[in-house]
Chain A
Amino acid sequence: MKGLKYLVLGTLFGVTMIKSEAASWYRIHEMFRFESFHMFGIIGVAVVLGAILVAIIKKKHLKTLKGTKVPLHPKSMSIPRYLIGGTIFGLGWAMTGACPGPLYALIGQGTWILIVVVISALLGTLVYGALREKLPH
């Protein structure tokens, strides 16, 4: 069962999203009002610890379990793409109070209305794909 490890990792991530309350609309709202440290603490610890581990991987030239290069690719530089795309995402994030990971976890929790959010997000993905050539990148 090759996929089992991904299922286990996804489950751990899903439980973490719920139990850390990162999947709460209220926590996201509070974050954008800068009235609690909670979300900044979660993201901050993940980034700092992640950066240390990534730096170790690079410094020691660690390989994946298959012996291949660890997929740490530099992203191509652009300002409009990340700034405009990011801002649109941020507007949506503050409306639905959930980004894709938490959305899936909340659906598992039985918040069925969020299935409609996922369908809308799929539509948004589709429209981006269709308009891609016409947008500044």
Chain B
Amino acid sequence: MLEWLSQPWHWSVSGILLAGVMVTLLFLEKSFGMSATMRTMCAIGGAGKKIKFFDFDWSTQKWNLIFMLGVVFGGVLASTFLSSSEPVDLSVSTVDNLKNMGVAVPTVYTDSFVPSNLFTFDQLYTVRGFVLIIIGGFMIGFGARYAGGCTSGHAISGLANLQLPSLIAVVGFFIGGIIMTHLLLPVILQL
């Protein structure tokens, strides 16, 4: 059983599980949205005293923090019991391009999640590492709140509810992602 679960999961299985999690939350009176946890954490940290946006009753969001702890625990479970023996199976053209840009390509499963030569604490002292890790993280937090949601809230919950605002947000996700991947990332990697 564990061996079977340890293989990389097919995209359709993952898609079905995501829809299942979203709809189950709906029946529990909750809306699926991961970036909302960040607003809640700011509120718990006391940001509401100075900034109105964080001045709300965060106890209504406790469930989402518990959900978030579950996500972390899911990562623990997956790495402890469900490690695959194969690295991520990328398309040949993606791998070639990454090699040309000097990005480490995964050869084992444990290197399949972040490039081992970019996402390290040492890289924080380089310009490219600082930009990717610190500025990248900042934009995720800023952009998600500005757009009122991230991938879970807009691309999954919002689109499933046929919300035009969510479609506009997802178009934005792709405009930003394409500009970064094709135009800016090759430059940042040279820094």
Q: Does A59 contact B (CB under 8 A)?
A: no
Q: Does B160 contact A (CB under 8 A)?
A: yes
Write the chain A residue with the least CB distance to B163: A75
If A18-B82, A19-B82, A33-B97 touch, whether A86 touches B176 (CB-CB below 8 Å) is yes
* Minimum CB–CB distance for A131 against chain B, Å: 9
CA distance in complex: A100, B132 (Å): 15
**Interface set, chain B 1-47, CB cutoff 8 A to A:** 5, 8-9, 11-19, 21-31, 34-35, 37-39, 41-42, 47
* Minimum CB–CB distance for B95 against chain A, Å: 9
* Minimum CB–CB distance for A56 against chain B, Å: 9
Choose one: B12, B51, B68, B137; the contact of A104 (CB below 8 Å).
Answer: B68
Do A7 and B66 have beta carbons less than 8 Å apart? yes
Of B74, B123, B163, B178, chain A has the most CB atoms within 10 Å of the CB of B74
Do A75 and B158 have beta carbons less than 8 Å apart? yes
Do A128 and B180 have beta carbons less than 8 Å apart? no
Choose one: B5, B8, B62, B63; the contact of A21 (CB below 8 Å).
Answer: B8
Closest 3 CB pairs of A and B: A14-B74, A86-B172, A10-B70
Q: Can you name 30 A-B pairs with beta carbons within 8 Å?
A: A6-B64, A9-B70, A10-B74, A11-B71, A16-B9, A19-B5, A19-B84, A25-B114, A35-B91, A46-B18, A51-B159, A53-B19, A54-B26, A81-B165, A82-B166, A89-B169, A91-B180, A93-B176, A98-B114, A108-B75, A109-B79, A120-B137, A121-B141, A121-B144, A122-B42, A125-B142, A126-B51, A128-B141, A129-B39, A129-B42
